[in-house]
Amino acid sequence: MHEEDLTQVMRRVELFRGLSQAQLQRIANISAREVYGKGDTICTQGSPGDRMYIISHGQVEVVVRDRSGESYPVLYLGQGQVVGEMALIDQGVRSASVIGADDNTIVYSIPNEDFTQLCQTDTAIGYVMMRNLAQDLSFKLRHRDS
């Protein structure tokens, strides 16, 4: 599975809602397929947020390390979900580690630099995705104390 099947996964991802098949294909073209086993580290808390990930197969565990150094799982994410999307906005450090929760976990990484270049050539992609991201953040902020 790569670009064609990846676009099918992307159709179910809220972040990509409103993009055309051609736009999804352009994003798929800059993605890289990565395979992880159970316990493999995908990205580490505190490292640069230089890419986001689309989960295509399996699950990942999001783990946070507190100030005392204790690590604890926050949530699990699976097929059709994304992690690290904040890297598209601020390129800050990772707020959590992401670890493969299953053998043969498949993710597609989208490097921030490539995504920025794509958005410069197709500004509609950047607009739609940033709008979707803003709506998601707005929802989370409004419902964080509910």
In this prediction, residue 59 carries a pLDDT of 96
Average pLDDT over residues 74-92: 88
Is 29 part of any domain? yes
- Domain assignment present for 143: no
Q: What is the CATH number of the domain that holds 55?
A: 2.60.120.10
Range of the domain at 76: 3-132
Please determine, for residue 2, whether its predicted confidence score (pLDDT) is greater than 90: no
Sheet holding 59-65, edge to edge: 41-43, 97-100, 59-65, 71-78
In a domain? residue 42: yes
Total domains in the chain come to 1
Does this model's pTM top 0.85? My answer is yes
pLDDT at residue 145 tops 70:
no
Residue 113 lies in a domain: yes
pLDDT digits (tens, 9 = 90+) for 86-116: 877 787 899 999 999 999 999 999 999 999 9
